[in-house]
Structure 1
Amino acid sequence: MNNNSLILALPKGRILKACIPLLEKANIIPEPAFFDADSRLLRFKTNDPELDIIRVRSFDVATFVAFGTASLGVCGSDVLMEFDYPDIYAPLDLNIGHCRLSVAQLANTKDKNLGDPARWSQIRVATKYPNLTRRFFAKKGVQADIVNLHGAMELAPVLKLSHLIIDLVDTGSTLKANGLQEVETIVDVSSRLIINRTALKTQSVRINALTERFRQILSPQSAA
């Protein structure tokens, strides 16, 4: 690996699949191991000798970029709002990874207070977004007791671990399958190109050139 390479952090999972066509259009071609589902590698070379890719958990992309370990990354706006890192600059909405961050509860709940946000006073909420959740309920004058979970969120109300959940929703089919319904949408979410502010100053030419590649493929003329 070239120690002077820029590092682009990409999230694992469904957003990674959406990133691949963008990489191709931007003429960023990872080495074959990047596409091997059985590969245990986490850092990959590309056709650009001055650009490497790392593949990390979606929540960790922002941390790698904020601390300058990666110069650039692709990160959901939900993660940016949760951590609110001052060292991250997010110049481009990549128009991928669209979903929404929502409040959900049991569909057959008998507690009518849960269905009316204006009547919440104190509530237990399961989520992997503790900071965002606290801010959301604080604006409503509600004291939220946060239960931190990182998976199987839909089980929390079913098993009475929490009254509500706050989680990402795409089609809503997982909520429905587990007997939950959306109560309120907090914010619409999409994935952004993010940049470490210090790296942008010290490696501005290379980073601006990469950013411009993505900007060009996102332009209306490119889509036509």
Structure 2
Amino acid sequence: MLKIALPKGRLFEESLELFLKKGIIQEGFEEGRRLSVRVGDYEFLLVKPFDVPVYVENGVADLGVVGRDVLLEKKPDLYVLFDLGIGFCRIVVAGKEENREKYLKSSYIKVATKYPRITQEFFSEKGIKCKVIPLSGSVELAPLIGLSDFIVDLVQTGRTLRENNLVVIEEITTSTAMLVCNRASYRNKKAEVLKVLERFVCLSSTR
């Protein structure tokens, strides 16, 4: 039996719908208080998005669905098998409109984010000194109260930014959901793993 880590929250419904659409499972289930759900030949573990690669890398789950943003931030030691093409978002630098010129001209800025690695690497490549302020939530509040000059965050529709009078200043990269696999599981359960992968990429069983 394969164990598959699914992210709770934004990506859960899209991920489950894709597993149903591809015929990997025949019945769905709701995201509730249960953290482990058995469906057919699979056991699904419902975990926080940033924890998916932790479960997969450590072999608790064989497969997982995780955003590219999380992979870029965590850089886990696992196989990325396939871009599932769901959960499209952008990782952006955002701030107040009146600070746009400051962003373009400053050699030192303060940035609040849930993505400290991505943020540091991005501004290092641009040659800009950056004080990274790690936050786990309510990142949009930081520039409004003077904690930071800008934020780096994941944006889907941009609604939360607009509601807080913030604008996208620069796009860093895009993110979609990826199918990832534990390295040992790929060796020891290769037939089962490839059976799932073939459903997603529409490969024949003989290829």
What is the TM-score with the length of structure 1 in the denominator?
0.85
1:186 aligned to which of 172, 191, 198:
172
Confirm whether residue 24 of structure 1 aligns to residue 10 of structure 2.
no
2:85 aligned to which of 89, 95, 99:
95
Distance in 2 of aligned mates of 1:202 and 1:58: 26
Q: Aligned-pair distance for 1:102? A: 0.1
Distance in 2 of aligned mates of 1:30 and 1:106: 47
Alignment match, 1:154: 140
Cα 1:133–1:30 change in 2 (3 A) is farther
State the SS of the aligned residue for 2:11.
helix
Deviation per CA, 1:37-72, whole angstroms, max 9, x where unpaired? 5x4210110112xx2000001111111111111110
Distance in 2 of aligned mates of 1:214 and 1:80: 20
Structural RMSD (CA): 1.9
| Structure 1 segment 119-158 matched on structure 2, within 5 A | 119-158=105-144
Contact in 1 for aligned 2:116/2:134 (Cα 8 Å): yes
State the SS of the aligned residue for 1:29.
coil
Distance in 2 of aligned mates of 1:40 and 1:176: 32
Alignment match, 1:40: 33
Distance in 2 of aligned mates of 1:18 and 1:157: 32
Deviation per CA, 1:72-95, whole angstroms, max 9, x where unpaired? 00010111111112x211121111
1:107 aligned to which of 74, 94, 97:
97
State the SS of the aligned residue for 2:139.
coil
| Structure 1 segment 205-224 matched on structure 2, within 5 A | 205-216=191-202
Confirm whether residue 80 of structure 1 aligns to residue 71 of structure 2.
yes
Deviation per CA, 1:116-174, whole angstroms, max 9, x where unpaired? 1xx33121111011111110011011221111112111100001110010001112121
Confirm whether residue 165 of structure 1 aligns to residue 151 of structure 2.
yes
Distance in 2 of aligned mates of 1:77 and 1:112: 30
Q: Aligned-pair distance for 1:205? A: 1.0
2:47 aligned to which of 56, 66, 69:
56
Structure 1: any 5+ residue segments left out of the alignment? 218-224
Distance in 2 of aligned mates of 1:84 and 1:149: 19
Q: How many residues align?
A: 204
Distance in 1 of aligned mates of 2:196 and 2:150: 41
Alignment match, 1:68: 59
Q: Aligned-pair distance for 1:31? A: 7.1
Identity across aligned pairs (percent)?
39
State the SS of the aligned residue for 1:108.
helix
Distance in 1 of aligned mates of 2:106 and 2:188: 49
State the SS of the aligned residue for 1:40.
coil
What is the TM-score with the length of structure 2 in the denominator?
0.92
Contact in 2 for aligned 1:105/1:183 (Cα 8 Å): yes
Contact in 2 for aligned 1:30/1:44 (Cα 8 Å): no
